[in-house]
């Protein structure tokens, strides 16, 4: 699994969301690296990491634990956004001794209804040929009904090759595993929970974490505190980075091992 590591101190593992890469939480990583060893990863099927035919949260959590083993780290504070938050929660529930504290950004430990059909349709219908450019790719995504902010984010996955462009991410693999990505199926009993400090941060204008998720969160993460960043949606870490970074850094400082 591709990763970058910088800084010194208690380790912090940062995990990005669907269609992202290790640069998504780079801003947060720069802040935390002043006092911590920060490891940013490309989740399998994303960025420069290996492509998997099948991905689910137990296997992704195992991959993160194997990375800690590779780095000879007994545990780390783990921060995840969206899908990365689910990977972080799976790590905490399946491998609690490896997680010092947990920060989950705008996702709940529940199954969601599909909500990326427009994105997948736009990505799969983009034809790469010798005339493809970043501009034409952006125009295609916009005409597919994808908003400009999301389209610009998705285009970070474009990489140039000899014949033009291709996707870095394993698009077919993500489509194949999408039901597992939006699901929440772990091989644990209903009473298993993570009994260490946990912080949930939600965007005030996001619908990913709502009041109806409260009981699911409390049952699985009883030592949870919650923060809302008003004026942000699902991309809260990019929309108000100073506030987001401060909240995460203060939580980790308060919960050093």
Do 55 and 45 form a contact (C-beta atoms < 8 A)? yes
Task: Give backbone dihedrals phi and psi of 238, rounded to 5 degrees, phi first.
Answer: -95, -30
Both tokens of 129, joined, read: 């040929």
Both tokens of 101, joined, read: 């504290």
Beta strands in the chain (DSSP E): 3-6, 12-15, 38-41, 76-81, 99-105, 158-161, 164-167, 198-203, 224-229
Using DSSP's 3-state secondary structure scheme, residue 179 falls into helix
Task: Give backbone dihedrals phi and psi of 57, rounded to 5 degrees, phi first.
Answer: -70, -40
For 69-76, which contacts have Cβ atoms below 8 Å and span 24 or more sequence positions?
Answer: 71/5, 71/11, 71/39, 73/11, 74/98, 75/11, 75/99, 75/100, 75/257, 76/10, 76/11, 76/12, 76/13, 76/39, 76/100
Residue 47: its H or E element: none
Which residues are catalytic, by number?
82, 234
Instruction: Name the one residue in this structure whose structure tokens are 């010798």.
Output: 130
Burial of 36 (0-12, 13-18, 19+ CB in 10 A): buried
């Amino acid at each position: 699994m591709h990763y970058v590591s910088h800084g010194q101190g208690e380790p912090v593992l940062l995990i990005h969301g669907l269609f992202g890469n290790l640069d998504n939480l780079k801003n947060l990583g720069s802040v935390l690296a002043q006092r911590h060893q920060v490891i940013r990863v490309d989740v399998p099927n994303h960025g420069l990491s290996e492509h998997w035919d099948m991905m689910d949260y137990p296997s992704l959590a195992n991959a993160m634990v194997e990375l800690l083993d590779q780095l000879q780290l007994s545990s780390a504070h783990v921060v995840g956004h969206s899908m990365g938050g689910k990977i972080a929660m799976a790590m905490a529930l399946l491998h609690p001794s490896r997680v010092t504290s947990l920060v989950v950004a705008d996702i709940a430990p529940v199954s969601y209804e599909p909500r990326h059909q427009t994105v997948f349709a736009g990505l799969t219908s983009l034809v790469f040929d010798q005339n493809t450019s970043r501009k034409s790719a952006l125009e295609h995504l916009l005409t597919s009904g994808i908003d400009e902010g999301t389209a610009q984010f998705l285009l970070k996955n474009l990489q140039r090759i000899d014949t033009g462009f291709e996707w870095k991410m394993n698009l077919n693999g993500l489509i194949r595993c999408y039901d597992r990505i939006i699901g929440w199926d772990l091989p644990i009993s209903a009473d298993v929970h993570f009994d260490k400090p946990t912080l949930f941060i939600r965007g005030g204008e996001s619908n990913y974490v709502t009041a109806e998720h409260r009981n699911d969160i409390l049952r699985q993460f009883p030592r949870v505190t919650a923060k809302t960043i008003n004026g942000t949606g699902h991309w809260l870490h990019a929309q108000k980075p100073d506030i987001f970074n401060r909240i995460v850094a203060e939580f980790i400082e308060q919960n050093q091992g």
